[in-house]
A = this chain, B = another copy of it.
Amino acid sequence: MKVLIIGGGGMVGQKLARRLADLGALDGKPITGLTLADINDPAPVEAPFPVSCVTCDISDRASVDQIIASDVDMIYLLAAVVSAHAEEDFDFGYRINMYGTINVLDRARALGTRPRLVFTSSIAVFGGEVPQPYGDNSALNPQISYGTQKLIGELLVEDYSRKGFIDGRGFRLPTISVRPGAPNRAASGFMSSIFREPLQGVAANCPVDRDFPHFYLSPRQCVENLVRAAEIDEAAFGKRRCMTMPGRVWTIGQMIDAMTAVAGPEPARLITWEPQPEIAGILDGWRLDIRPEKAASLGMKADDSFEDNIRYFLEDDLPG
């Protein structure tokens, strides 16, 4: 089993690579090689199988052809320009998120081996005029370019799979929290930083009210679900291969209370509450009440409580 992670240098890609190294196998088969590809050289991971790290610009078909080897069995396509960045730079967002996805799909198709491909979409496909809650059969009416690009990716994964070119499956990631490391340019960044920074004694700003509801998943459970994503027999998908990954709806207030329950009252006092006009328009569409069911029926899971999310961050990302 040869595995390729495109976006293997990102937070989720790195955690997935380390988890695959722990497991040593995927979909019941020993992993015999792992390639991590990203726009910048991805950090290597220790593993009981060969790991190679390569750079790739997915908007360049020749670059994609080089990293997708003819013997690949499993492709994770995690690479993307995130929401606020794609909104600021329309052409760059399309170049990576739409044309880049097409390049990967076309290369996978050209192999003629029908590789399995796990595509990560986003809950940014939800919103607009569609009434909440959003279930598996709600219409998708994205209100930002990122959501549009991800939904186009879903549609292509469906069509390329239906035509027999790939064995694709796609999962809309909930907002990942608590996300370790430096802030990225996602408008949802505060949904991690208001925990990550205070848990390290640093102030952070929350631009929405305590009752702002949203849909979350921990990095640890996200990675478990991505492992599961590669194992699902394609017959189980029926006529739809793209769906929302399980997560849970919490308000900001509930999450902060969970942090206090796990880590005491000090971190919450470091949160400031200033509106941020530059992301207000995006966030208006993000009061998301999402009820995924299909992915749960296929064996994916949400976190039990946000206290788990806080604990996972302390255990996985703040060793010592």
Q: How many residues of A contact B (CB 8 A)?
A: 27
Number of chain copies forming the complex:
2
- Across the interface, name the chain B residue whose C-beta is closest to A90: B163
Any B CB within 8 A of the CB of A54: no
Give the secondary structure class of A's interface. Answer: loop
Any B CB within 8 A of the CB of A158: yes
Cβ contact within 8 Å between A145 and B163: yes
A129-B238, A163-B90, A239-B128 given; A155·B137 CB < 8 A: no
Cβ contact within 8 Å between B148 and A158: yes
Cβ contact within 8 Å between A129 and B139: no
A131 to chain B, nearest CB (A): 7
Any B CB within 8 A of the CB of A136: yes
Any B CB within 8 A of the CB of A152: yes
Cβ contact within 8 Å between A137 and B131: yes
Cβ contact within 8 Å between A145 and B159: yes
In the bound complex, residues from chain B placing their C-beta under 8 Å from that of A136 are 139
Contacting A142 at CB < 8 Å: which of B90, B143, B155, B238? B155
Any B CB within 8 A of the CB of A269: no
A234 to chain B, nearest CB (A): 14
Within A118-140, the residues touching B (CB, 8 Å) are 127-131, 136-140
Cβ contact within 8 Å between A129 and B240: yes
